[in-house]
């Protein structure tokens, strides 16, 4: 009996073990799949489209949307896919570069445009390139995957944008955007309809600095970049609009991401909450202070940021989303400053600085009727910094305490009168509180001009910026789209009102060729830090830019598009000043003009690529009768070549080559002696250029799939051939009056190693 029992037990245990192996194998097989879910809505009215057909290309998987426009596709093998989406009466569209990760849900949001084939029988091919009627020109979109895989960017969204047509960078050490010869201060940045004053860590007003974006690209659903001719809903900026929309947390499972590279460590979570809600949250901590400590550098920079969103569907018509944003940058330095001016070099070897910012808000989207919806946003934001600079003995020789708070309420409504005509209108009121406290000792410029000591305490009353806009789009026939708008702005502090007309048109010559144009006036009010410099500056008025744009786009294939645009920006009332006092004037004028060519291949068949070239001029004049000069952000030639390839077995390879004309600068042409002190003699302003800027970046990714999670490792190698790109020159004069010119270089060859774990 005992032997039989033992044998029976062994057989039973073997069977149980075999069943466990079968179950484990089955579960492992199930875990080798992922989920795609999302919404399909009307691009104009935001209404849900029930019954839309969603197909995953390359696998036998698909789904139809439910009454809420929602769909779920499960059991998809791991990989990167394209989605084909179709609905009766709408243009078929494609969503490329959709990743499916083990045991995770990928959320997509797709908007379809009516075909209007009943108007004239025109056939418009659905593809990977989409734009709304009101964005006829100078419009680019990027997906989070395009941002992540871009070489030479360290997965930073602003560095990716520096490779677009008409956009230049200030070098690898800066993530700031220079759009069509304009200053970085002329760019409007929005996050879920909330204006973000400063979207980049270590970016200071009036300086081409800024190391890395504050917003984690994994948080983004859409990134729309308008480099000119933007519609009337956007105001108070002259150059561009950078409009980011955060992804809603997914409704199926909870996802976790952990990312680390030399820039810092970050974590992101998203998933369902409550009954009809979702959440997504990201937090990061920078490593720059640890790196500088290891390298023995005098500066110790650190940064922190946190961004989150909670979305809740009250019912089928009402959706609330709560958005929060916070960042803190800190720098402490004791040692050589290495400032540009020879007279300042080594003078102020102590620095502490805290930069900080917050933005919180709520968006309420209400589907008013089948043909209309409204979006109302209530938000608060602030941005400020505290600075002390001096010597070991006197650490506060120079100082700043700057803070600006903004309370904003805005609402807009879109109404589709019929399939050929829709209208959008909105209003906004913004309350602004400012504090500007600063002081500095007397000084001299590098050429010997005396600058008296100054102290500013600027605490103005609360000012308001109300505005209203109206925008309409009309399609008199299927091939022609017209958009007209007007915007009114008022600034209570300067008692100035401006009226900004906007107009754009697009003519579809064939189903693959379109001609586009745009015209508009754009105003930018003086900033608080400019007004605060001197009481006379309270008389400043808005700077003005008038945009003229013509373009043509050719869809060579569904995934391949070429564009050509010519633009001219006429500038007037530009705010200018001098090095020796704080008084500013609206006497400046100028222009920026150029031609841009781009060829873009979307990520299909395992390959993605772009090629773009821009030729441009940007010049300014400080006053009537004064000499014209090259603006500091002028870059005549810009060339970008980018390619990415999937190599199989979860390997990806990418490369980017950049070439740009050198930055203009004012050369030192000699030495002069004043009061027994030597000073630099400057040549004509911005009359010389640094050597041309160029570099090659290469990135390689490898994905490892484990039991219940995925690890991606990458090497992003900047400046492969170690080009010494000059960013600046500093000058030093010895006791014999001999001047020495020392270049300051951009990054040499720089390997960035990163890890991303997904659970």
Under 8 Å between Cβ of 35 and 70: no
Strand 255-261 and strand 264-273: the pairing is antiparallel
Would you say residue 72 has pLDDT above 90?
yes
pLDDT band at residue 127, thresholds of 50, 70 and 90?
low
Question: Could you give the domains of the chain?
Answer: 30-115 (2.60.40.1120), 139-758 (2.40.170.20)
433: nearest Cα among 396, 381, 393, 471: 381
Q: What pLDDT does residue 209 have?
A: 56
The H or E element that residue 574 is part of is strand 560-576
Tell me the mean pLDDT in the region 609-638.
94
| Dihedral angle computed from the Cα positions of residues 341, 342, 344 and 346, in that order, rounded to the nearest 10 degrees | 130
The span from the CA of 99 to the CA of 316, in Å, is 29
Q: What pLDDT does residue 156 have?
A: 83
More confident residue, 657 or 727: 657
The span from the CA of 326 to the CA of 196, in Å, is 10
Would you say residue 491 has pLDDT above 80?
yes
Would you say residue 592 has pLDDT above 80?
yes
pLDDT tens, residue by residue, 702-759: 999 887 788 999 999 999 999 999 988 988 888 888 888 899 898 889 898 889 898 8
The span from the CA of 557 to the CA of 545, in Å, is 36
The span from the CA of 584 to the CA of 723, in Å, is 39
Q: What is the DSSP string of 42-78?
A: ETTT--B-TT-EEEETTTTEEEE--TTSEEEEEEEES
Q: Is 648 left (phi over 0), alpha (psi -120 to 50) or beta?
A: left
More confident residue, 14 or 504: 504
Q: Burial level of 199, CB count in 10 A (0-12/13-18/19+)?
A: buried
Q: What pLDDT does residue 18 have?
A: 37
Measured in whole angstroms, the distance separating CA 19 from the mean position of its chain's CA atoms is: 53
Q: What pLDDT does residue 546 have?
A: 97
Would you say residue 340 has pLDDT above 50?
no
Task: Please provide the average confidence, as pLDDT, over all residues in the chain.
Answer: 86
Q: What pLDDT does residue 117 have?
A: 44
659: nearest Cα among 607, 721, 714: 721
| Residue 177 neighbours by CB under 8 Å, 6+ apart | 158, 161, 162, 167, 169, 184, 187, 240, 242
Strand 187-191 and strand 240-246: the pairing is parallel
Q: What is the DSSP string of 344-378?
A: TTTT--EEEEEEEEEEEEEEEEEEEETTEEEEEEE
CA atoms within 13 A on the CB side of 740: 7
Would you say residue 5 has pLDDT above 70?
no
Q: What pLDDT does residue 612 have?
A: 95
Radius of gyration of the chain measured on its C-alpha atoms: 28
597: nearest Cα among 568, 633, 631, 561: 561
Lowest-confidence region among 105-119, 465-479, 641-655: 105-119
Apex CA 634: angle with CA 728 and CA 549, to 5°?
160
The span from the CA of 135 to the CA of 93, in Å, is 18
- Residues 479-491 as b/e (b if ≥16 CB within 10 A, e otherwise) read bebbbbbbbbbeb
103: nearest Cα among 83, 74, 81: 74
Q: What pLDDT does residue 144 have?
A: 77
The span from the CA of 730 to the CA of 120, in Å, is 65
Strand 187-191 and strand 178-179: the pairing is unpaired
Strand 33-42 and strand 105-112: the pairing is parallel
Structure tokens at 652: 């990806």
């Amino acid at each position: 009996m005992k032997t039989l029992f033992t044998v029976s037990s062994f057989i039973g245990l073997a069977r149980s073990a075999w069943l466990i192996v079968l179950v484990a194998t089955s579960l492992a097989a199930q875990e080798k799949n992922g989920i795609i879910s999302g919404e399909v809505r009307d691009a104009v009215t935001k209404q849900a489209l029930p019954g839309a057909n969603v197909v995953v290309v390359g696998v036998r998987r698909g789904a139809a949307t439910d009454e809420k426009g929602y769909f779920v596709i499960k059991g998809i093998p791991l990989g990167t896919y394209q989605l084909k989406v179709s609905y009766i009466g709408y243009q078929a569209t494609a969503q490329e570069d959709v990743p499916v990760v083990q045991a995770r849900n990928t959320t997509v949001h797709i908007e379809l445009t009516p075909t209007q084939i009943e108007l004239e029988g025109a056939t418009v091919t659905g593809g990977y390139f989409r734009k709304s009627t009101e964005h006829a020109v100078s419009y680019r979109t990027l997906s989070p995957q395009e941002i992540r895989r871009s070489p030479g960017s360290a997965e930073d969204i602003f560095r990716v944008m520096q490779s677009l047509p008409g956009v230049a960078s200030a070098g690898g050490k800066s993530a700031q955007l220079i759009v069509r010869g304009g200053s970085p201060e002329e760019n409007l940045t929005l996050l879920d309809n909330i204006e973000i004053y400063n979207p980049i860590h270590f970016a200071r007003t009036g300086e081409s600095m800024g190391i890395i974006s504050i917003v984690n690209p994994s948080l983004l659903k859409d990134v729309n970049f308008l480099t000119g001719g933007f519609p009337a809903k956007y105001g108070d900026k002259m150059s561009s609009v950078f409009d980011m929309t955060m992804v809603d947390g997914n409704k199926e499972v909870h996802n976790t991401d952990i990312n680390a590279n030399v820039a810092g460590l970050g974590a992101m979570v998203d998933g369902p909450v409550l009954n009809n809600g979702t959440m997504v949250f990201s937090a990061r901590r920078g490593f720059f202070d640890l790196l500088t400590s290891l390298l023995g550098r005098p500066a110790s920079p650190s940064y922190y940021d946190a961004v989150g969103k909670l979305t809740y569907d009250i019912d089928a018509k009402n959706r609330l989303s709560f958005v929060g944003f916070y960042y803190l940058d800190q720098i402490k330095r004791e040692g050589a400053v290495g400032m540009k001016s020879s007279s300042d070099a080594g003078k102020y070897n102590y620095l502490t600085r805290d930069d900080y910012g917050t933005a919180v808000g709520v968006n309420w989207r209400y589907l008013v009727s089948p043909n209309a919806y409204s979006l109302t946003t209530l938000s608060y934001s602030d941005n400020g910094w505290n600075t002390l600079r001096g010597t070991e003995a006197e650490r506060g020789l120079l100082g700043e305490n700057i803070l600006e708070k903004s309370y904003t309420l805005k609402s807009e409504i879109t109404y589709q009168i019929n399939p050929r005509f829709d209208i959008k209108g909105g209003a906004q009121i913004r309350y602004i509180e400012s504090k500007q406290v600063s002081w500095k000792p007397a000084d001299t410029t590098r050429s010997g001009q005396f600058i008296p000591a100054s102290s500013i305490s600027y605490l103005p009353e609360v000012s308001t910026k109300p505005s209203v806009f109206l925008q309409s789009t009309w399609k008199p026939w299927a091939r022609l789209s017209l958009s007209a708008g007007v915007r009114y702005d008022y600034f209570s502090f300067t008692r100035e009102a401006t009226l900004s007309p906007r107009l754009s048109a697009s003519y579809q010559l064939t189903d693959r060729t379109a001609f586009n144009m745009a015209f508009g006036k754009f105003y930018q009010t003086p900033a608080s830090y400019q007004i605060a410099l001197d009481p006379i500056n309270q008389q400043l008025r808005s700077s003005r830019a008038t945009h003229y744009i013509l373009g043509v786009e050719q869809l060579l294939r569904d995934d391949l598009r070429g564009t050509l645009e010519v633009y001219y920006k006429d500038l007037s009332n530009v705010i200018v000043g001098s090095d020796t006092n704080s008084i500013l004037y609206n006497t400046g004028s100028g222009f920026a003009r150029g031609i841009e060519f781009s060829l873009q291949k979307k990520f299909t068949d395992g390959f993605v690529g772009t090629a773009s070239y821009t030729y441009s001029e940007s010049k300014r004049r400080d006053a009537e009768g004064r000499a014209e000069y090259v603006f500091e952000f002028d870059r005549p030639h810009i060339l970008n070549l980018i390619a990415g390839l999937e190599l199989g077995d979860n390997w990806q390879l990418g490369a980017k080559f950049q070439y740009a004309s050198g930055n203009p600068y004012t050369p030192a042409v000699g030495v002069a002696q004043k009061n027994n002190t030597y000073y630099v003699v400057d040549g004509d302003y911005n009359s010389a250029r640094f050597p041309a800027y160029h570099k090659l970046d290469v990135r390689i990714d490898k994905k490892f799939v484990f039991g219940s999670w995925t690890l991606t490792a990458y090497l992003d190698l900047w400046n492969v051939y170690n080009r010494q790109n000059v960013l600046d020159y500093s000058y030093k004069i010895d006791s014999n009056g001999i001047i020495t010119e020392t270049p300051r270089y951009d990054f040499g060859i720089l390997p960035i190693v990163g890890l991303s774990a997904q659970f």
